[in-house]
């Protein structure tokens, strides 16, 4: 940083980054920021901003286990449960006392581990949780007042980090308890709108909002609350304060069929809009309506599954539509994993409960499933590059549910690669994909060239002299999926596949996107040795006028006689 003397740099420098990127975080004034932006050696300068943080049987669901135990052919068994693999998690911290991080039966810490267990908040590492650090200097520098000393710790006080890390690499054998009513016992049932206090509006009482329920009408009953406005757990709290023994949470019309698992403070059941309306009609139809809430149980083999969640991230990529996003999908709804004991499971002020495990939903829950799979693949294929591992996961993913039909979206319509990418992860097949799409330095340098960066910039960025091709194109980027976002004539895409399986010949089969001609040359690839790499070209051509202007989808699959099927999605938009 030439704007300041060496002495002054130490006063403003917060962090220096040299591993994944070359950069720094510093406390600068407007003049210094303007000067940095004008420096040709600086790619970007941006202000630090505060960000909001984004199933019990999920591993069995994706094929690792059967009846609660790993199968003989599972990736877990092949990888010896990831022994010796080190995984990292950048999140809200971790609750080290969780049973998910118990080191019983663990061997010594790998000698290659060079990290540290940073002290603070009584945090202790072990042979399972081998290191932890906290990074709060940026937050501290932006805070108008000194941050509390108890914040100087890697201990998780939010719950998110404990949940994701335990999903990716937590120990076996953890269980969860839940509140329930006696099996088979029926209780009086009341619609919350009919249980309002005299001063409360019926619409507010129907939502079980604060201070709207009459305890004389609610006590000892199961109450039906409508979803919306106030929190789902908060509705149950109001019902509990009024003396309810249980709650039925009925979706409003907007919420439709979306059901979520919540840490309710009393026994509760969540119903779809249709089912909720049926319950309310039942209440109107009889003088003495009753209901029972069954104890929690797990249904396996529900059809169809998987189904895409409404909140799941969607493509196309706004940054680079020529690369399909998302890559894959993985379990992310109602995933049970470790939690912090620093706050209650609902994070609401009244919630004084503490629980070591909780259900959460989100893309944050899908990510650690894939991270865990990556760790296991790394254990059995230590020579594979990150790109090869990604390719193995993508090309073996499944696009059909257990109904043998294409995966559905949350609205009941057929999902597309913009919802599930290459498909739902299938880790046992990823251990032996047959072929992988590997990438090298040239792929990434040409990626920069295709985005307009010149040789001078690339030298600054990579330290390697490189002359960009005259017509750099992302059509050459060796990705496991193929996207053509502007098809207005013939477009040829080049890909390379590397043999990581048995020797043999692969032949291609194409399901072309509607109204698009797709030709693959050559149509067969013979591999005579391990690690051999072959190139093929895919030519896309519109076949008639009047084609839809929206995206259409297909796929190509390379197959051999040994049971390998290397599948890549095709995504095309007509210009």
Instruction: Considering the candidates 58, 74, 156, 160, report the single residue annotated as catalytic.
Output: 160
Q: Which residue has the tokens 């890697």?
A: 154
Q: Max alpha carbon distance in the chain (Å)?
A: 84
Which H or E run contains 377? Answer: helix 363-380
Nearest residue to 42 via CA among 93, 95, 2: 2
| 495, 391 Cβ separation under 8 angstroms | no
SS3 169: helix
Q: How far apart are CA 268 and CA 247, in angstroms?
A: 5
The one-character DSSP state at 191 is E
- Cα–Cα nearest to 552, from 383, 418, 453: 418
Q: Would residue 391 show up in a list of annotated catalytic residues for this protein?
A: no
**Full strand arrangement of the beta sheet holding 435-436:** 435-436, 491-499, 533-542, 516-521
Tell me which of 100, 312, 346, 364 is the catalytic residue.
Answer: 364
37: which 2 tokens?
């932006």
Contacts of 406 (CB under 8 A, 6+ apart): 399, 400, 414, 415
CA distance 403 to 400: 7
Question: Does the active-site annotation cover 369?
Answer: no
Whether 58 is catalytic: no
Cα–Cα distance for residue pair 420/223, rounded to 1 Å:
38
- Taking the C-alpha atoms of residue 451 and residue 484, their distance in angstroms, rounded to an integer, is 16
Rounded-to-integer distance, Cα 143 and Cα 26, Å: 14
* Cβ-count burial 287-310 (b if 16+ within 10 Å, e if not): eebebbbeeeeeeeeeeeebbbbe
Alpha-carbon gap, residue 295 to 187, rounded angstroms? 14
List of E strands, 339-474 = 357-360, 435-436
- Whole-angstrom distance, CA of residue 567 vs CA of residue 558: 7
Cβ(346)–Cβ(240) below 8 Å:
no
Backbone phi and psi for residue 516, each to the nearest 5 degrees, phi listed first? -130, 130
Catalytic entry in 91, 432, 438, 560? 91
Catalytic amino acids?
91, 160, 364
């Amino acid at each position: 940083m030439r704007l300041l003397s060496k002495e002054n740099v130490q006063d403003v420098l917060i962090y220096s980054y040299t591993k994944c990127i070359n950069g720094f975080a510093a406390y600068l004034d407007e003049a210094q920021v303007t000067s940095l932006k004008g420096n040709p050696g600086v790619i970007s300068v941006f202000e630090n901003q505060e960000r909001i943080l984004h199933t019990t049987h999920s591993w069995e669901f994706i094929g690792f286990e059967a009846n609660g135990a790993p199968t003989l052919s599972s990736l877990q068994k092949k990888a010896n449960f990831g022994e010796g693999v080190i995984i990292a998690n950048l999140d809200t911290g971790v609750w080290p006392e969780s049973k998910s991080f118990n080191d019983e039966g663990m061997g010594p810490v790998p000698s290659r581990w060079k990290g540290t267990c940073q002290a603070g908040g009584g945090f202790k590492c072990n042979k399972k949780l081998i290191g932890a650090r906290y990074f709060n200097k940026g937050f501290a520098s932006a805070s108008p007042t000194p941050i509390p000393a108890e914040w100087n710790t890697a201990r998780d006080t939010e719950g998110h980090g404990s949940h994701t890390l335990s999903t990716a690499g937590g120990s076996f054998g953890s269980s969860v308890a839940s509140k329930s009513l006696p099996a088979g016992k029926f209780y009086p049932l009341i619609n919350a709108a009919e249980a309002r206090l005299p001063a409360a509006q019926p619409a507010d009482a129907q939502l079980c909002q604060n201070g709207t329920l009459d305890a004389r009408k609610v006590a000892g009953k199961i109450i039906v609350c409508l979803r919306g406005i106030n929190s789902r757990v908060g509705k149950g709290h109001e019902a509990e304060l009024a003396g309810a023994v249980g709650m039925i949470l009925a979706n409003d019309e907007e919420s439709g069929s979306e059901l979520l698992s919540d840490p309710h403070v009393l026994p509760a059941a969540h119903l779809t809009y249709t089912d909720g309306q049926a319950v309310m009609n039942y209440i109107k139809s009889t003088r003495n309506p009753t209901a029972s809430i069954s104890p929690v149980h797990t249904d396996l083999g529900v059809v169809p599954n998987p189904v895409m969640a409404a909140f799941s991230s969607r493509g196309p990529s706004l940054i680079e539509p020529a690369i399909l996003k998302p890559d894959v999908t993985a379990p992310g709804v109602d995933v049970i994993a470790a939690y912090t004991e620093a706050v209650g499971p609902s994070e609401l002020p009244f919630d004084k409960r503490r629980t070591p495990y909780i259900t959460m939903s989100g893309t944050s829950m899908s990510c650690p499933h894939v991270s865990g799979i990556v760790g296991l693949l790394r254990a059995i294929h230590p020579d594979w590059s990150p790109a090869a591992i990604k390719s193995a996961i993508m090309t073996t993913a499944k696009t059909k549910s257990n109904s043998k039909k294409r995966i559905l979206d949350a609205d009941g319509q057929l999902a597309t690669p913009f919802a599930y990418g290459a498909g739902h992860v299938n880790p046992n097949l990823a251990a032996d994909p047959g072929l992988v799409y590997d990438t090298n330095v040239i792929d990434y340098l040409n990626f920069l060239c295709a985005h307009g960066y010149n040789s001078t910039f690339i030298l600054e960025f990579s330290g390697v002299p490189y002359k960009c091709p005259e017509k750099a194109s992302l059509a050459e980027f060796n990705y496991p999926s193929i996207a053509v976002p502007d098809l207005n004539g013939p477009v040829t895409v080049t890909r390379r596949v590397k043999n990581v399986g048995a020797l043999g010949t692969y032949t291609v089969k194409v399901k072309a996107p509607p109204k698009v001609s797709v030709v693959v040359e050559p149509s067969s690839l013979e591999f005579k040795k391990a690690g051999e790499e072959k190139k093929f070209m895919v030519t896309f051509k519109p076949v008639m006028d009047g084609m839809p202007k929206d995206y259409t989808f297909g796929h190509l699959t390379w197959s051999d006689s040994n049971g390998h099927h290397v599948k890549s999605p095709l995504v095309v938009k007509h210009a």
